[in-house]
Amino acid sequence: MKAFVMRAPGGLDCLEIIEHSDPGAPGPGEIRVAVHATSLNYHDLLVATGQFPAADGRVLMSDGAGVVEVVGSGVTEFKPGDYVVSCFFPQWQDGLPQAPVGSFAGVPGDGIDGFASSHAVRSAHAFTHAPRGWSHAEAATITTAALTAWRALVADGGLKAADVVLALGTGGVAIAALQIAKLMGAAVIITSSSDEKLERARALGADHVINYRQHADWGTRARDWTGGRGVDHVLEIGGPGTLAQSIEAVRVGGHISLIGVLTGLSGDVPTAQLMTKQARLQGLIVGSRRQQQEFVAALNLSDIRPVIDRSFTFEQLPDAVRHQERGAHFGKICVEW
């Protein structure tokens, strides 16, 4: 079977399509899946560009969606023909995250082989059902980005109707957060450096938009839009370069989900301001299988469909990564085969 792998020492010039050994029939508790789509995340970008070193010959991509072909003995949750989508942390089934979840040792496309291949045989617990009626490309968008937004807002944040959500940027996590928040009856503020993207976010239901390049005090402006109260939830993707403004924006007792470090791995934190706000600053990485199942159940009761910026063919995967690198996308980038 064909697979896209990373060759040492890493980087886009080291991505290669190879004839990979077929995984064969599933063993007890496993399923064999014909994979048809994946979607790109910042984590995949770091692996593909060599910033997260991967083993020589590692099959790329954390997200995978496809069709169950065969089930192993003891599997009752799935049957041949079911549409399924992978889990980012297959070892994290439920409950609180444990120490191993903090690493990427068990993450597809990083510590273990990913889903840039025609077939995969994994534990049945490494997948959930895909949302009903979704294409494989659409389903592939929930594994990492959308589940992160769901966990930040609903599972950990306790999002309620009439809450105000501030989401930074217009990538996969932010746009999923916008859709989830509107589904739950919340108001949403979106930031971006592009007026065009802000107008697209407004068309999707954003209640207020701020161009952070034009307004360095975007956190203050977000707070002012709430009448001075502050926002209830912040999806913080920048890290040290944006955290101060996120703290400025959040209400007393509010919730900041630190889900990205695009501006650096370390930096100053305005601790006195954070203490005065009595805000909860929570770092998080994606979510558990149980949270993904709950998210899929919610999607099955809604009319939400993911926003896909562009879809590439399997052979164009390096081009998809370059498109992500440029940062011009709105929503998710997918690869289908």
Last residue of some domain: 242, 258, 283? 283
282 close to 257: Cβ distance less than 8 angstroms: yes
Label the pairing between strands 83-86 and 58-59.
unpaired
Any idea what the CATH number is for the domain that residue 66 is in? 3.90.180.10
Are residue 272 and residue 322 in the same domain, yes or no? no
- Give the structural domain span for 26: 2-144+287-336
Put the strands of the sheet holding 250-258 in their side by side order: 208-211, 187-192, 164-168, 231-236, 250-258, 280-283
pLDDT at 337: 98
pLDDT at 98: 73
Q: Residue 216: pLDDT band by 50, 70, 90 thresholds? A: very high
Are residue 75 and residue 63 in the same domain, yes or no? yes
Q: Is the pLDDT of residue 219 over 90?
A: yes
Give the whole-angstrom CA distance, residue 222 versus residue 13.
Answer: 42
Any idea what the CATH number is for the domain that residue 210 is in? 3.40.50.720
Are residue 313 and residue 203 in the same domain, yes or no? no
251 close to 275: Cβ distance less than 8 angstroms: no
Q: What is the pLDDT of residues 24-77, one digit of tens each?
A: 999 999 999 999 999 999 999 999 999 998 999 999 999 999 999 999 999 999
Query: Is residue 151 in some structural domain?
Result: no
Total tally of structural domains belonging to the chain: 2
Q: 84 — phi, psi (to 5°)?
A: -130, 165
User: Which of helix, strand or coil describes residue 258?
Assistant: strand
Query: Is residue 150 in some structural domain?
Result: no
Nearest to 53 by CA among 109, 16, 13, 9: 9
pLDDT at 144: 97
Percent of the chain with pLDDT over 70: 99
Nearest to 38 by CA among 116, 108, 109: 116
The token pair at 317 is 């995967």
Q: Is the pLDDT of residue 332 over 60?
A: yes
pTM score of the predicted model: 0.95
How large is the C-alpha radius of gyration of the chain? 20
Q: What is the pLDDT of residues 191-215, one digit of tens each?
A: 999 999 999 999 999 999 999 999 9
Q: What is the pLDDT of residues 117-139, one digit of tens each?
A: 999 999 999 999 999 999 999 99
Are residue 202 and residue 121 in the same domain, yes or no? no
Nearest to 335 by CA among 121, 33, 104, 35: 35
Give the whole-angstrom CA distance, residue 78 versus residue 87.
Answer: 15
Nearest to 120 by CA among 186, 30, 198, 53: 30
